[in-house]
């Protein structure tokens, strides 16, 4: 396992914290940020309060890093991979991929850098190819701008959640503090 993957997952676990059963949380009971539904679908069937950290780590690695194809993204942009992992954990992997595709489309200089992507919510060969073309054209500043775009979409979505569901106002401050930079 690469160091960035390990460090990113460990950071996410530290931000998520331990066992929580907040009635306002749409995800329900969690431990290390893993919902009971995700734990069960990943093979863990014990009490959530007893979920081992190593099991949570493996769930993050498989369900949120590997399923997004972030090992390929890391080869192009480490900072984008870290941001996408965090977004995938908190908003779902499809939304993380969608945010990347939307951001790349908005940053492709009217199709001069690469053709617009189809927003299919999957980081496949077309998306990684577009990411490579973008980073090649824009370099280090391009990575900064891309991560800002990803963060902007993530932050806007948190505000939209709180506007739609009053109970999410309990979480929006923490989401913006810990997830958007």
Rounded to whole angstroms, the Cα distance separating 133 from 137 reads 6
Q: What angle do CA 149, 99, 97 make, to 5 degrees?
A: 135
> Hey, what CATH class is 1-66 in?
mainly alpha
pTM of the model as a whole: 0.93
What's residue 91's pLDDT?
92
In sequence order, what are the residues at sequence separation of 6 or more whose Cβ sits closer than 8 angstroms to the Cβ of residue 155?
176, 179, 180
What's residue 22's pLDDT?
87
What's residue 43's pLDDT?
97
Across the range 71-89, mean pLDDT stands at 96
- Residue-wise pLDDT for 96-110, tens only, equals 999 999 999 999 999
Residue, of 86 and 25, whose pLDDT is higher: 86
Give the three-state DSSP class for 20: strand
Name the percent of the chain lying above pLDDT 70.
100
Q: How confident is the model at residue 143 (pLDDT cuts 50, 70, 90)?
A: very high
Per-domain residue ranges of the chain: 1-66, 77-181
Rounded to whole angstroms, the Cα distance separating 140 from 21 reads 41
Across the range 42-65, mean pLDDT stands at 97
């Amino acid at each position: 396992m690469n160091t960035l993957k390990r460090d990113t997952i460990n950071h996410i676990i530290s931000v998520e914290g331990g066992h929580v059963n907040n009635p306002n949380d749409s995800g329900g009971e969690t431990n290390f940020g893993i919902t009971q539904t995700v734990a069960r679908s990943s093979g863990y069937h014990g009490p959530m309060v007893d979920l081992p950290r190593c099991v949570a780590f493996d769930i993050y690695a498989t369900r949120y890093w590997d399923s997004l194809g972030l090992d390929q993204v890391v080869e192009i942009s480490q900072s984008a991979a870290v941001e996408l992992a965090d977004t995938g954990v908190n908003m779902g992997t499809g939304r993380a991929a969608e945010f990347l595709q939307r951001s790349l489309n908005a940053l492709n200089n009217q199709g001069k850098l690469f053709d617009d992507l189809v927003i299919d919510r999957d980081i496949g060969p077309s998306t990684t190819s577009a990411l490579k073309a973008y980073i090649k054209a824009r370099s280090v500043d391009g990575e900064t701008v891309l991560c800002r775009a990803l963060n902007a979409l993530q932050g806007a979505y948190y505000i939209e959640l709180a506007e739609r569901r009053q109970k999410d106002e309990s979480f929006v401050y923490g989401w913006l503090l810990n997830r958007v930079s």
